Structure 1
């Protein structure tokens, strides 16, 4: 029997970036690299950004924090997390990532603070 988990990778997206596109992209890359490590360990790793960013572009969002961003970005992550088994919190300060941890705790999901805490799926 597999112990594969669906894990939301939650880390900083906007925090500390001044909304600089290069810094935003670096934060997304850090979450994607973590997700790849989890995938290679047999888990289904997801990020809210992977779903929200294409929708924001399609909706016509022009910048982080605009009304479309507020409508889509965090609500997508919150819905996604509700369908996950766990959350992995990575990176530095982030109000949004901390909200994901609080939601996971409220929903009784596993909370990981390090890749080393997560067993490989069998």
Structure 2
């Protein structure tokens, strides 16, 4: 691609305390041929890499949670759920992401696959981010992870169900851009929805709404389990909900349905509130 028609007329260093913040004055030629004078502040922190570790058989992903000051000062709790990542610091993207993954998650990565690279905030930051995916197994764990204390890192390692992670994106609990991009890549390319067993819970044991929802769940390729079927087996050593993958909460007041939703969340199940939220099963 041809370089943009631009003439840099001045460059001023504003800060080199952590990374480089510069102010550029430049002339940019517009599409009609006229030159326009502009100024922009540019933050140069180097390029980086990130990786989503996943287990295809168990349908799980490895993520981390850590404090991010910029999000805290922008009306967020500050604790972000993310994929492992780090700046290249003169290493190749592949070399750096293997080191970062082990340092942050405690898992030693085998084969990694680069899926793309992208500028994440091109209006003000120079960083180009290299995106990777890689499979992991329990045997790949060689440490506790957590990052480096001397660098201010205090990282919590999270192993989530793949569908659970996607639900956290939809609910707004996962708001990190690179993490959302990699989870969606995994969803589209590598882990299409499988046939799910879905508990259908809502008001009225004989409700026509429940029956219609169960029929639509079946039509989408999944296995519906009406909540009333749990009654006979609710006092065993293993709750029947543990055999389910998700809960569909049909609208309407129902304390029992709310209890099942709460239990489903404790078990890490996906919680759906509309039929449109449920992905079609893989043929």
- What range describes the TM-score normalised by the shorter chain of this pair? 0.5 to 0.7
SS at match of 2:239: helix
In structure 1, the residue matched to 2:248 is: 88
Asked if structure 2 preserves the Cα contact closer than 8 Å seen for 1:35 and 1:46, the reply is yes
In structure 2, the residue matched to 1:101 is: 261
| TM-superposition CA deviations, 1:49-88 (whole Å, max 9, x none) | 1454xx6xxxxxxxxxxxxxxxx7xx27x92212100000
- Which TM-score applies when normalising by structure 1? 0.64
- Which TM-score applies when normalising by structure 2? 0.29
In structure 2, the residue matched to 1:43 is: 222
Q: Which has the higher helix share?
A: 1
1:30 alignment partner, one of 205, 209, 212: 209
Q: Specify every segment of 5 or more residues in structure 2 that has no aligned partner in the other structure, as ranges.
A: 1-191
Give the Cα–Cα distance (whole angstroms) in 1 for the partners of residues 269 and 229 of structure 2: 21
Structure 1 runs, 4 residues or longer, greater than 4 Å off: none
Q: Which has the higher strand share?
A: 2
SS at match of 1:120: coil
In structure 2, the residue matched to 1:8 is: 199
In structure 1, the residue matched to 2:279 is: 119
User: Cα RMSD over matched residues?
Assistant: 2.1
Question: Paired residues, what number?
Answer: 89
Give the Cα–Cα distance (whole angstroms) in 2 for the partners of residues 47 and 115 of structure 1: 15
User: Structure 1 residue 48: deviation in Å?
Assistant: 2.5
